[in-house]
Chains A and B, each alone.
Chain A
């Protein structure tokens, strides 16, 4: 079993839809949770990060962490065709060297 599981998709939605992207994890020591957006043939771009539990909002994006269920989510409101990309979740414990463990990414397609 992988430490971080993420559905590869693709997830296809119409423009304006609310998108929910999710990751599950098995290591209860994870404290930092990050979401990256990666366009084709480009490097990942940090979207949001949260520490421990709770929600964080930034414009159309909301990140949620449920540590009791070992489940994190990224919500995108009013999705746009420009949101079409692969979304990677990443996690880290808060000990010494901060190694990141990545999900394999979910491909999102937003159609006009």
Chain B
């Protein structure tokens, strides 16, 4: 079945630690995205990538980093510089030339 997988489902981090969230898709989509979802604030774009080895900052990129070494994979690192990292993180993908995005199941990150 084609789709987007995210791992882990739940992640706990101590303050000062970096953590990496995984996102993989087998939809053959070129574009991939990372969003953060907080209660009452909707989805906010962190980073996006339209092709391999290229990515751009979204609206709230500070404290996050990404890489895009393979078309299928777009991992997100939440660094210790992110002031308030506890949130629900969503990965999405789309075909180039269309805004229709498909989402993964999400990763819930909690900072202890």
Chain B interfacial positions (CB closer than 8 Å to A): 4, 6, 31, 40-43, 45, 48, 50, 56, 88, 90, 94, 97-106, 108
Contact = CB atoms under 8 A, between A and B. Distances in A.
B105 A32 contact: no
A97 B43 contact: no
Interface string A68-100: 000000000000000000001010101001111
Interface of A: 8, 32, 34, 36, 41-46, 49, 88, 90, 92, 94, 97-100, 102-105
Contact of B99 (A43, A98, A103): A98
- In the complex, the 10 A-B pairs of residues with the closest C-beta atoms, listed nearest first: A98-B99, A92-B99, A43-B103, A104-B42, A102-B43, A102-B42, A43-B105, A43-B106, A44-B103, A32-B99
Interface of B is mostly: strand
